[in-house]
Structure 1
Amino acid sequence: MKKRKRRGLGATAAFDRSVFPILLAAAARSTHRRTPHGSDSTVARLLRRALSRSRPSLHPLPTSLVAILPLLLTSRNWQCSSASVAALSCEVLGAAALQSMEASETLASDAAIADCLARALRCGSQRVAEAACNAIMDLSASSAGREHLAGSAVLQSILYLFSQVEFISGVIDIRSTECSKSASKANKSFYLMVDTLVLMVNSCQVDSLHNLQQDVVRKVLPLLHKIWKNVDKLGSSTDCINSKNQLQRKEHEISEAIFRLSMNIACPAHLEPDEVRRSIFGQSVSDYENFLLNYWEKSTYLVTRKQKNLHVDSVFTSLLNEFDPKTPDTIIQSLVNGIVSCPAIASDELDISSFLREVQGSLGATVKYRQDIRVVRTNDQCDQTSIGYAMEEHFFDDGMTFQDADAFVEKCKDAFKNGFSVALRGMEFRSEKIAAIASAVADLFGQPSVGANIYFSPPRAQGLARHYDDHCVLVWQLLGCKKWMIWPDTKLLLPRLYEPFEPLDDLVDDCGGRMEILLEGDIMYVPRGFVHEAHTDVDVGGFEVNSTVDCSLHLTLAIEVEPPFEWEGFTHIALHCWTEKHWSSPFVKSQEEARTSLFALLLHVAIRLLSKNDATFRKACMVAAKLPPSSSCTTTHSKALRSNQRSFFDEIIKKIDKSCNFKEALMCIGLAVREKNDEPFQWMCWLRHLPQHGGTNDQVDFCNILGALEELLEAVSCNLEQSLTEFTDFKSKFCRCVAYEDACESFEMLLQMYRTTRNQYTRGMLALHRKHEI
């Protein structure tokens, strides 16, 4: 009798899509009853049969098979034939996901499948974990699929799996041109794990990253950082000749994953505000309070230190040691080596996700000239202005980036020997110790953040040309000495952040300047608007190459008063709080509510116009400043400070009641509406962060304000005299009934929102600059 010819396994082969899942289910039940492994073999054969057929046989994947996949993915005996079942189930899952975007999203959104993939990653079997990683990558073909998986237990499991890796150094330090098959296979598995981890981290919603276990994240970060720093080396090893065997994630994707994982990890170098206050202003509480009352935003202030006592100041000592102060070369090496660019974050950006979208592809990029660093000198041989002020000469071109880090360091050293100063911005993003000091100073002054720059100058040199700043600075002399010339602000109006700088012609009287010499440990306060320049031509001896004798190293802490945290900003918050309370009354009719909204918008504009020529509105609001706890209610100075804040507010309210001009505000709005130009109202954007009454349709879009301004103009133009009367009544009612305490509460809530985002940015950037050792 003739033997029947075996049918092929092609697409035409019989394949009962309804019976096959039932067979799998029966075999899977046997597997979970710990019956002999023959049942596992049966399941494995069925799964291989499915995979061997043409891919369309898995599309669409039978519902019954989808239902049984979680059971197959979690076979109990991982080390035996059940591992084959789990691994093959992962392959079936991946193959089905690749059939279409719809299939990928459907399978990735199945909570049971995601949970079982997470368990498979932790199973202890390398084969199963690798198959699970492949399945996750296949399911992540669509953005929706990636987000579903990243928001599940999969991310925590891949973090855990990666934290257990022990052979990372062996992979990275490969130098051989010949790699064994076993090493190549291990490296391929390692690359797959890294790719899966980075993809999941970067696909996860920022809010969900809060839920990750910090101890696991802390263990993963140094491993990931080492991989990021060695991406080129990993890509050049011989086992990476085949593109399937090499790391697929790009360098910037790995740096973004490091940034994201670090945003919610507290920095270890935390300092209490009181500790920093004592280091900067001295042990006496009254010294700091006296500074706030009599010098803050008014006059320069110098704190001198006894050289012999500097070693007992732990904050100063740790700060100086951060820069390896043996020689000029070692200082420059510590400043410049290993730094990356810190892209700017918008001043009113309170959503770190928006920032990440804007800088996608550029996190971890090399430093950019002027944005991150300046190498500059000012001397008599440089070009001069019309009135004879010396101009700056830059060693590098604007916007230049530095791909070769070692060559960049050497060029900076050469520039320094030729009289150029090295000025590095954003030190609070590059050094944990400086970040801790900056954060504590921000707390002391009740501001969202404090910037930090470092300046290293050679002997007989001037780095930056004569200028003034739009922020207050604390200058901390760390090494050597420096001579400063300072001219008081003659304009009375404090300069604001982001406003154009005025020429110095009318701001400086050469006879009216004040000279200060800062020695090591000394700290000087310079208010915003005070013109200044600094030199290292103090006669303290000759210059020796590779000696720090005549060099100067100083840190500046920039206290930048953002618009919401000036007194004008506090007044806008007070108006908003009062308007919200007025709306919440059950006796307010809808028509009156609409008028209230329009008049509130008009008063916001009138307050802004008033503040342009009134110095009081421009001062920093200090209601959230952290005064020393031991003296908050006892010392005369503390009571005076609290009283001073309330007096400021009362004075401002009187000025609003007396001077806010209806017609001037209306003219300003009319001009903007006619010209379709909302630029004069961009300052309003930060008001969007305050909670607004009513539904979405009733809320003012402060970032697209022209529509609301048009509505306002149309409403009041019908009867200007009546509108003027109603506006005056509205303004008077606000000035009589506004609650200072309500504004304080909302002010502190807004401050905390700003701080949260700034802290997330700072932690992410610090992680990219951290020097990890494995």
Structure 2
Amino acid sequence: MHSNTTNRNEKRKKRKERGDEAAADDASPSSASFDRHVFPILLAAAQTTRQYSNSCSPATLAARLLRRVLSRSPQVLSPLPDSLVALLPRLLSSSCSSVAALSCEVLGAAALRSMEAGEVLASDSGIASGLARALGSRSQRVTEAACNSIMDLSASSVGRERLAGSPILPRILYVFSQVESICELVDSRTTKYTNRDAEANKISYLIIDTVVLLVNSCKVDKLQSIQQELVRSALCLLYNKVWKKVLLRSSADCNNGKDQLQSREYEISKAIFRLSIDLASPACLEADVVWKSIFGQTESNFQNFVLAYWEKSPNLYRRKQSTQNDDPVFSALHSTFNLGAAPDAIIESFIKGLVSCPAIASDELDINSFLQEVHYSLGDAVKYRQDIRVLRTQEPSEQISRGYATEEHFFDDGTVFLDEDAFTKNCKHAFKNGYSIALRGMEFRSEKVAAIASALADLFGQPSVGANIYFSPARSQGLARHYDDHCVLVWQLLGCKKWMVWPNPKLLLPRLYEPFDPLDGNLDDNGGRVEVLHEGDTMYIPRGYVHEAHTDVGDPQMNAHPGYSLHLTLAIEVEPPFEWEGFAHIALHCWVEKQKLGFSLFDKSQAKEEISLFSLVLHVAIRLLSNNDPIFRKACLVAAKLPSSSSCATAHLKALRSSQRSTFDEIIRNIEMNCSFKEALRSIELAVQERNDEPFQWMSWLRHLPQEGDADLRIDFSNILEALEELVEAFSSNPEQALVGFTGFKSRFCRCVVYEDACESFETLLRMYRTTRNQYMRGMMALHGAHVTGVVENPS
């Protein structure tokens, strides 16, 4: 009897298996067969939440079918039946780990068979939500399958972008933030691995790869919408557990980690950068705190500085030693550089953990363009001259003939410092042998310095302020005698340093990015101003003023330390749009846009075309005028955020505002009297004739100003040569008539331009510049470990 029962059960089992096989096989040739035989079982499994203990449960049957679909019927995957696509969100969320994992595998297999199908599946919001829930499973198998499925669906750029903009990204960031406890989350009933720790490590690397892929594929505005604490937590792990421990060390374990990661080092650097660019900075200083620390506690001091010294002459601000400990800004800097330690420890405080800070284009307003430009080099080791210089200048007495001392560099140009320990050791050795260490971009490497630089940028109404540190040994000179193309505030943080600053005989201030003129060989060594800066003192040196500095101050008793010195320079860089010339271009642009919209006499298409051409000529004429007129090169401070908390400060603020308006009025009179149509047209004709637009590349930033009206009438400042060709063609037939028209156009502009309109557009452009510069600054600081740890709750 027992034997007969056993035989019947075996026959029943075989018939059941044949039925399942037939269902899977029938699913191959047509969706109808799939819907008839497979779909009902999968639907039952998707809707069933009850747990079964026998092998006939809907989930068990569904898992068996999904396995056979994967192994025996690849045709059904291309494309997936619509009914299965509709069911996948539920299957991916199944409480049965086998069903959820196999559904992820089906999804990935379908994506691999057809990129087009993968893009469609990745764009399905239901599937994305189902994958997000699968990522939150307590089963390691499901998590792994979900990550692999995401990787498969991301084979195309469209698929990556769709998934990165879905709920999957915040979910994977949360899963990653719990990566250290993944071993605890593994369901032992579904674990098949013999080495549990090794497999948990494997899934950790897979999660990291998925995070990096999606973060780097996500649009910036989508990243901005993710919870900041979640981003901070992921950043902390990505930097400390991956970037710092796996990528920056060279041990065998870390090399093994590199091998297990699919993500390359620059991709991980990019993910860290992108996650951080819109995080609120925890170290923030108000502008009034910074100006009080530099210029003194009296509220009117800064306004006095702007009106009396800014871009006119150097000035020294003495700090009482008794007030240093009460100054929060000076105290923050003192702790940042470990200034109470020995020189070797000070060097380590700013050398350790450095990465290179690649230059961002002066007119770049899209952080994504910058990231594409430096795609393979982000996170590289520091480079000589780009990031750091180690140099000394010979004493004048050692010169063979009359002339200036020359700089001697410890490293060769372009050296990349891959071995951090060896690099640090060499810097210490160089310092002991009289070399100064000059490190650029401190606003990208230290949150406290970045906060000071950002506050100063607000104070002066400029896009950014650079920060460099200079650490010099006793009886030495680092940089040779030189001048800068930017104004600097020198802040003495440790020891003393003697400065010599010579008057600037030139009326024209040097511009950023322009070649430096050779120094005058007849500069009188005794004709400069001599100042010794003590700890806490600051000195302002305008751009164009020649200067040099020594640690040999002539009186050993003046040095509180054994002769060495550390100072911070804050560089207030006035970029082209934010000089008065730039403001004049903005004023012209605003007025022209009003004319195009019909607020004046230009209501005919031909007249509208002429206004575009005349405005282009006037832009060129303003540029030519600025090459010889000092006022155009001065910084425009209409967007400066000045303090005004007292009646005295308010009076100075009004005086400064009035001064800015007076400068603008003077510039407009200058434009009307001296802008030459013939000179501008001649320079344009020469460029067109030689097919050379280099002399007009300064105009590229004008592309950031909005242009309304007909597209055909807009000037393409990114392809300026084409616009110049059209201009020459239009004016060449009758230049005298063109001159008359231009003269009337210029006169109307100078008579009707609205200062307030230009101020509004100027401030809008400044915000755009500041946004990109701040994004760059936060991204680079993250690569130097500047972020906050945090534990986040499971996101809904």
Same-fold status (TM-score > 0.5)? yes
Note the alpha carbon deviations across 1:620-643, whole angstroms, 9 max, x for none: 000011111314896432221110
Of the three residues 194, 199, 203, the one matched with 2:213 is 199
Q: Is the 8 A contact 1:373 1:423 kept in 2?
A: yes
Q: Is residue 719 of structure 1 aligned with residue 734 of structure 2?
A: yes
Matches within 5 A, 1:567-716: 567-585=580-598, 588-631=603-646, 635-716=650-731
Aligned to 1:400: 415
SS at 2:467 equivalent: strand
Structure 1 residues 736 and 632, CA gap change in structure 2 (3 angstroms): farther
Aligned to 1:61: 80
Q: Tell me which moved more, 716-725 or 254-263.
A: 716-725
Q: Is the 8 A contact 1:442 1:559 kept in 2?
A: yes
Aligned to 2:112: 98
Aligned to 1:127: 141
SS at 2:570 equivalent: strand
Q: Is the 8 A contact 1:459 1:543 kept in 2?
A: no
Q: Is the 8 A contact 2:300 2:648 kept in 1?
A: no
SS at 2:113 equivalent: coil
Q: Tell me which moved more, 320-329 or 498-507.
A: 498-507
Between the aligned residues of both structures, percent identity stands at 64
* 1:241 Cα offset (Å): 6.8
Q: Is the 8 A contact 1:382 1:392 kept in 2?
A: no
Aligned to 1:422: 437
Aligned to 1:72: 91
Q: 1:111 & 1:12 partners in 2: Cα distance?
A: 27
Query: Could you tell me which amino acid in structure 2 is paired with residue 684 of structure 1?
Result: M
Q: 1:378 & 1:234 partners in 2: Cα distance?
A: 35
Q: Is the 8 A contact 1:446 1:623 kept in 2?
A: yes
Query: Could you tell me which amino acid in structure 2 is paired with residue 218 of structure 1?
Result: R
Q: 1:10 & 1:58 partners in 2: Cα distance?
A: 17
Q: Is residue 756 of structure 1 aligned with residue 775 of structure 2?
A: no
Q: Is the 8 A contact 1:380 1:390 kept in 2?
A: yes
Q: Tell me which moved more, 660-669 or 107-116.
A: 107-116
Aligned to 1:173: none
Query: Could you tell me which amino acid in structure 2 is paired with residue 623 of structure 1?
Result: V
Q: 1:726 & 1:500 partners in 2: Cα distance?
A: 37
Q: Is residue 476 of structure 1 aligned with residue 495 of structure 2?
A: no
Structure 1 residues 193 and 632, CA gap change in structure 2 (3 angstroms): farther
Q: 2:522 & 2:699 partners in 1: Cα distance?
A: 30
Q: 2:152 & 2:276 partners in 1: Cα distance?
A: 27
Of the three residues 537, 553, 561, the one matched with 2:566 is 553
Q: 1:499 & 1:242 partners in 2: Cα distance?
A: 46
Note the alpha carbon deviations across 1:349-390, whole angstroms, 9 max, x for none: 000000000000211110000000000000138986974100
* 1:233 Cα offset (Å): 8.4
Query: Could you tell me which amino acid in structure 1 is paired with residue 595 of structure 2?
Result: H
Q: 1:464 & 1:400 partners in 2: Cα distance?
A: 19
Q: 2:774 & 2:117 partners in 1: Cα distance?
A: 40
Q: 2:541 & 2:400 partners in 1: Cα distance?
A: 24
Aligned to 2:792: none
* 1:721 Cα offset (Å): 1.2
Q: 1:100 & 1:678 partners in 2: Cα distance?
A: 46
SS at 1:630 equivalent: coil
Aligned to 2:156: 142
Q: 1:636 & 1:12 partners in 2: Cα distance?
A: 86
Structure 1 residues 13 and 585, CA gap change in structure 2 (3 angstroms): closer
Q: Is residue 157 of structure 1 aligned with residue 171 of structure 2?
A: yes
Note the alpha carbon deviations across 1:559-603, whole angstroms, 9 max, x for none: 000000000000000000000011111761111000000000000
Aligned to 2:231: 217
Q: 1:633 & 1:306 partners in 2: Cα distance?
A: 24
Q: Is residue 88 of structure 1 aligned with residue 102 of structure 2?
A: yes
Of the three residues 189, 194, 199, the one matched with 1:185 is 199
Q: Tell me which moved more, 108-117 or 41-50.
A: 108-117
SS at 2:209 equivalent: helix
Matches within 5 A, 1:420-499: 420-499=435-514
SS at 1:195 equivalent: helix
Q: 1:737 & 1:507 partners in 2: Cα distance?
A: 49
Matches within 5 A, 1:278-293: 278-293=292-307
* 1:64 Cα offset (Å): 2.3
Structure 1 residues 516 and 623, CA gap change in structure 2 (3 angstroms): same
Note the alpha carbon deviations across 1:384-423, whole angstroms, 9 max, x for none: 6974100000000001001100110000000000000000
Q: 2:249 & 2:292 partners in 1: Cα distance?
A: 48
Structure 1 residues 696 and 387, CA gap change in structure 2 (3 angstroms): farther
Aligned to 1:45: 64
Query: Could you tell me which amino acid in structure 2 is paired with residue 733 of structure 1?
Result: R
Q: 1:500 & 1:304 partners in 2: Cα distance?
A: 34
Q: Is the 8 A contact 2:643 2:649 kept in 1?
A: no
Q: Is the 8 A contact 2:26 2:34 kept in 1?
A: no
Q: Is the 8 A contact 1:476 1:555 kept in 2?
A: yes
Aligned to 2:123: 109
Q: Is the 8 A contact 2:27 2:37 kept in 1?
A: no
Aligned to 1:174: none
Structure 1 residues 91 and 383, CA gap change in structure 2 (3 angstroms): farther
Q: 2:785 & 2:49 partners in 1: Cα distance?
A: 49
SS at 2:715 equivalent: coil
Q: 2:254 & 2:197 partners in 1: Cα distance?
A: 8
SS at 1:746 equivalent: helix
Q: Tell me which moved more, 135-144 or 404-413.
A: 135-144
Note the alpha carbon deviations across 1:27-74, whole angstroms, 9 max, x for none: 344332435530111111110111112534422322222222112112
Q: RMSD across aligned C-alpha pairs, in angstroms? A: 2.7
Q: 1:303 & 1:613 partners in 2: Cα distance?
A: 33
Q: Is the 8 A contact 2:165 2:218 kept in 1?
A: yes
Q: 1:748 & 1:507 partners in 2: Cα distance?
A: 43
Structure 1 residues 240 and 534, CA gap change in structure 2 (3 angstroms): closer
Of the three residues 412, 426, 431, the one matched with 1:411 is 426
Q: Is the 8 A contact 2:443 2:467 kept in 1?
A: yes
Aligned to 2:328: 314
SS at 2:706 equivalent: coil
Q: Tell me which moved more, 686-695 or 612-621.
A: 686-695
Query: Could you tell me which amino acid in structure 1 is paired with residue 744 of structure 2?
Result: D
Q: 1:457 & 1:282 partners in 2: Cα distance?
A: 27
SS at 2:416 equivalent: coil
Query: Could you tell me which amino acid in structure 1 is paired with residue 162 of structure 2?
Result: H
SS at 1:508 equivalent: coil
* 1:229 Cα offset (Å): 1.4
Q: Which runs of 5+ in 1 are unaligned?
A: 171-178
Of the three residues 528, 548, 552, the one matched with 1:537 is 552
* 1:467 Cα offset (Å): 0.2
SS at 1:705 equivalent: helix
Q: Is the 8 A contact 2:396 2:404 kept in 1?
A: no
Q: Is the 8 A contact 2:705 2:765 kept in 1?
A: yes
Aligned pair count reads 758
Structure 1 residues 234 and 571, CA gap change in structure 2 (3 angstroms): closer
Q: Is the 8 A contact 1:11 1:53 kept in 2?
A: no
Q: Is the 8 A contact 1:378 1:461 kept in 2?
A: yes
* 1:346 Cα offset (Å): 0.3
Aligned to 2:276: 262
* 1:697 Cα offset (Å): 3.5
Structure 1 residues 453 and 33, CA gap change in structure 2 (3 angstroms): same
Q: Is the 8 A contact 2:444 2:781 kept in 1?
A: yes
Structure 1 residues 582 and 481, CA gap change in structure 2 (3 angstroms): same
Q: Is the 8 A contact 1:494 1:619 kept in 2?
A: yes
Q: 1:551 & 1:180 partners in 2: Cα distance?
A: 60
